[in-house]
Structure 1
Amino acid sequence: MTPNDLESLLEIARARHDAAQAKLQPVIDEERRLRKLLGDLAKDEEVGQLTLEHDMAIRSVRGDEAWLRWVGRNRRLLNMQLASVLARKEAVFREAQATFGRVDILQTLVRDARLKSVRNSQKRAMAQILELHLLRS
């Protein structure tokens, strides 16, 4: 395979790697958003607990139980969504890793092919110089 062929393959591999990286970013953004929502929910739960401890009117109509059920339901929902996003992230991340490996290998092959081409050119030039030198002698 010529260095030009390898460089063409490298360009394709880089494009695939860039596409895989582009797929990863929205998944990471979604993970951040869900983690933030879980953090906000935990803060709201703390504030709610403090409020419920001192508000007998809410407790008398079982508002505290409704609040705790709402928090629990939302936490479960957010955790399920997060688990789904993390599974998607794992799959997309593996794809990105594989494309990076291909790019890395092709870069090495292109570098080696260029070096081989330069060495072959040097050998041919040296052979021509020796041939000219022998013809003059």
Structure 2
Amino acid sequence: MKHDKLAQMSQVTEAVYLAEFRKVQPLLQEETRLRGALARLNEQADSERKALATDMPMQTIGADLLWQAWLVRSRKQLNIELSQVLAKKSVVMERIRLAFGRRNAVQAMSDRFITDRAIAQRKKQFERLLQNHSDG
């Protein structure tokens, strides 16, 4: 394979890898946002649970049950959204792994080509030196 082809392949595989890598950034940000929202919800639930345990008027009117129902719905919705993001992230990460592997394979082929070419050039130079030395 010619070096120009390897250089072109290297550029293409690098571009594909970077394009796939860019796709995961918004998913990572969304995952972080959702995990943060779940953590805040859990902190809020702990805090409210302690407050409602001692607030008899709120228990009497059923506010504690309404709170629990809202908490369950909110946690469920956040977990559904997080699951969807993680599923998308899994698909994109697999594409990144494939693109990374292709990029590395092409880079290894290019490196090998350059090394083989350098060895061949040195061998030719050495043979010329031997030829010149034997002629002289």
TM-score range, shorter chain: over 0.9
For 2:90, the equivalent position in structure 1 comes to 90
Measure, in 2, the Cα distance between the counterparts of 1:96 and 1:71: 36
For 1:48, the equivalent position in structure 2 comes to 48
Q: CA RMSD in A?
A: 1.2
Equivalent AA in structure 1 for residue 74 of structure 2: N
Q: What TM-score results when the alignment is normalised by the length of structure 2? A: 0.93
Report deviation, 1:65: 0.5
Percent identity of paired positions between Structure 1 and Structure 2: 27
State how 1:67-106 maps to structure 2 within 5 Å. 67-106=67-106
Measure, in 1, the Cα distance between the counterparts of 2:68 and 2:60: 15
Could you give the per-residue CA deviations for residues 43-63 of structure 1, whole angstroms, max 9, x where no partner exists?
Answer: 111111111111122111111
Measure, in 2, the Cα distance between the counterparts of 1:45 and 1:79: 15
For residue 132 of structure 1, give the secondary structure of its aligned residue in structure 2.
helix
Measure, in 2, the Cα distance between the counterparts of 1:39 and 1:134: 81
Measure, in 2, the Cα distance between the counterparts of 1:135 and 1:5: 40
Runs of 5+ unmatched residues, structure 1 = none
Q: What TM-score results when the alignment is normalised by the length of structure 1? A: 0.93
Report deviation, 1:125: 1.8
Could you give the per-residue CA deviations for residues 10-67 of structure 1, whole angstroms, max 9, x where no partner exists?
Answer: 1111111111111111111110100000000001111111111111221111111110
Measure, in 2, the Cα distance between the counterparts of 1:93 and 1:13: 16
For 2:27, the equivalent position in structure 1 comes to 27
For 2:3, the equivalent position in structure 1 comes to 3
Runs of 5+ unmatched residues, structure 2 = none
Equivalent AA in structure 1 for residue 5 of structure 2: D
Q: How many residues align?
A: 136
Q: Hey, which bits of structure 1, 4+ residues long, moved more than 6 A?
A: none
